[in-house]
Chains A and B, each alone.
Chain A
């Protein structure tokens, strides 16, 4: 097995925690008062649902639709993590709804209220995480211990290496960008971290990152499907995760989820959600974000302004871009993507990974190199304006502005849903452009991009799907030709970096041959069929065009295509 080139040892030092003890953490306060908090979430979510469905008929229709969908889901798509009593619960609710017809108006009204409460409260319970300091500490240590052990065991091939600390996690996971600012903002106000999402590993990774930056635990929105995997479920529960079930699209559920996030933010709990909603199946950096949870940041901020007048706490949005040489699920993800895009067929919402595959992957990952980088972007206010280190919002000219004024009409802070929807859209497009700006180009992304584009250029008459069906034997690029193009595109990346439009890993600099080799060695390193490699003649070939397409997509959106 060829030795894999690794990056320089990371110089980052550890960060002191910004808050002394876990009891000070907002997320702990929340879970200590879990019961009261859930009652509050329930009450306010009900209020919201009633506002959206003002008439009795509308409300009943909504509830009936909810029951129908939930029962349908139970028939079609049950997960291990779903509670056992679900069929019973929903069929009882269904009966209760039917019985409403036999009741007097007054009785029915009362019963209706009960049903709504039951549903919403059940959802709130399901969503809420249970942060326990003891499990948090335990989980944290376990993750650290195993990460470090694996890393050292693999690198230093001597007996006993498992128990040395020659390599730390930091050598593998590079955290770059506005870390100091993030720490400062977390003290000034409430932080919402919004990372890109490529792999199931992200949820654990980001948890570790938050801890290693000395930040208190964050509230997470993690996909309920991850809780199917027991080992994930344990860690995520103890790291402060709350559950987001993408199967449930009914109004009561969505409003409860939004209210949970909204109130937690108002209470100062730092939060994290993947605004792309799900892992990027195409490998593209998210272009369209889910606006539901994002809008809760805006609503929470507006409420804080209403309640606390001028000295309301501020909510800061911090985009984070994650970069890997390798994504475990890439072949399945791109398959899904192509199926949906190409043939109008839908993918099943299944996850093929159990605990065992994950452990295997982690082991491979840590024994074989392949680094991860986490780029922390500059803080934004909820309107998407940059903030300074003290958390002041700045306009395009660097003047301090007061974001409270965005919510004002006639001198007062007002509630205007339509306006806030528009603000959410603006914030979302701002986050997307920040993702591209702080993205760190790896050698592996660059070789994948260049090779794929060069091949596609050779077959201008084929559309993407026709092109992807080409037999791999037809595809070969002369190495020197490839190298020339690689250098050309790399130069443009330097150029873009100077303009502040993208970043690149330090390993991208240096002699092209070496960097290309690093790229080829790392791109899709653990896939059965390598997306890119050199043949005996030294030319560039592929074993899997689809997966190559996936890794190539990482650099779409910078207009680099025009160079090739």
Chain B
């Protein structure tokens, strides 16, 4: 029977970071999982202790460091690696992929293509031709076309504790969405669907920017009024910026947009929030990044979003101001004062 043969096949997860580990465990409730870790030691450790990054691993998860083996065994693969390594990982995986593969990534961030000699510091503006979402990276580097992404308010720690949560599976292909739903959904984990793949990816990036600002507010000791203001202005910024980058307004108002934004902004567990919080406490960006175990995607996103906004001539106020704090030496207090003083009489216009 065809159904059996496909449901016997394991599901691949690439990347044994926090989110990758948790996703592997969630899928393992339904299916066998091959979890790829680059580092042999991690593989060994999971095999011996059934633990990774402090999470207990399901027996259904088999770690491996052999990408070719993983690709040959799995029709469905979830690449969940930081955006800075994403292209490299996909390039390594590419030779083993076939058009029948389905890839659903769980990475938030942009990939940028620069000309020789340019760096993110030197380039003045960035257009959409130079900025890629992760699904676009997959399509550029591989033969796989059935691509999707995971996004939404899913904090790894809460999910690992089996607290209720939800995710959005976005793809142009219904088949991909259904596959994602089948694999991830359980009694504690709801899966929503969305066809606006690029919009969902963009929302995932922009919310990380706003999360840094949320961290700053807390760091300065401000309360809920300020946070409410930030989140709603942040949502507006997400809509404006997201639209010029190719997303749909409806997406930004959904679970993967506002839903995720609120979660991230309220969560001291998130890395981006931590960056903002520590900045407000007077630490230097360099020092903060140095002792963080995983990358705070928001920092890079601010740089890219700011340069995109210059190309498309939109003015994302929060992003702009954060850029000044991170890279131009503005103090957090000044930034906040500036934001509060900025004349904005119109609340939100969506048309």
Interface residues in chain A, defined as those with a beta carbon under 8 Å from any beta carbon in chain B: 383, 395-397, 399, 401-403, 405-406, 408-412, 416, 418-419, 422-423, 426
Contacts and interface: CB of A to CB of B under 8 A. Distances in A.
5 contacts: A396-B141, A402-B98, A418-B173, A423-B145, A426-B145
Given A409-B100, A422-B173, A383 B145 contact: yes
B99 interface: yes
A419 B99 contact: no
Contacts, number: 52
A410 B75 contact: yes
B106 to A, nearest CB: 22
Given A396-B143, A412-B2, 8 more contacts: A395-B143, A397-B94, A402-B98, A410-B5, A410-B75, A411-B75, A419-B174, A422-B173
Most A CB contacts (10 A, CB to CB) among B5, B9, B95, B173 go to: B173
Contacts of A408: 99-100
A409 B143 CA distance: 15
Contacts of A426: 145
Contacts of B75: 409-411
B6 interface: yes
Nearest to A425: B172
B100 A405 contact: yes
Interface string B22-60: 000000000000000000000000000000000000000
A418 B99 contact: no
Contacts of A405: 98-100
Contacts of B99: 383, 401-403, 405-406, 408
A260 to B, nearest CB: 28
Contacts of B172: 422
Contacts of B140: 396
Contacts of A406: 99-100, 145
Interface in B134-179: 140-141, 143, 145-146, 172-175
B175 A411 contact: no
A419 B6 CA distance: 18
Given A406-B100, A410-B75, A419 B2 contact: no
Interface string B268-304: 0000000000000000000000000000000000000
A418 B174 contact: yes
Given A410-B3, A411-B2, A412-B2, A418 B100 contact: no
Contacts of B5: 410-411
B92 to A, nearest CB: 13
A383 B75 CA distance: 19
A395 to B, nearest CB: 5
Interface string B92-106: 001100111000000
Contacts of B9: 410
Given A383-B145, A409-B6, A411-B5, A419 B100 contact: no
A348 B98 CA distance: 49
A225 B222 CA distance: 71
Nearest to A426: B145
Nearest to B7: A410
Contacts of A423: 145
A417 to B, nearest CB: 9
B143 A401 contact: yes
Contact of B146 (A403, A410, A419): A419
B23 to A, nearest CB: 21
Nearest to A384: B145
Interface string B69-101: 000000100000000000000000011001110
Contact of B98 (A396, A401, A412): A401
A34 to B, nearest CB: 37
Nearest to A385: B143
Contacts of B173: 418-419, 422
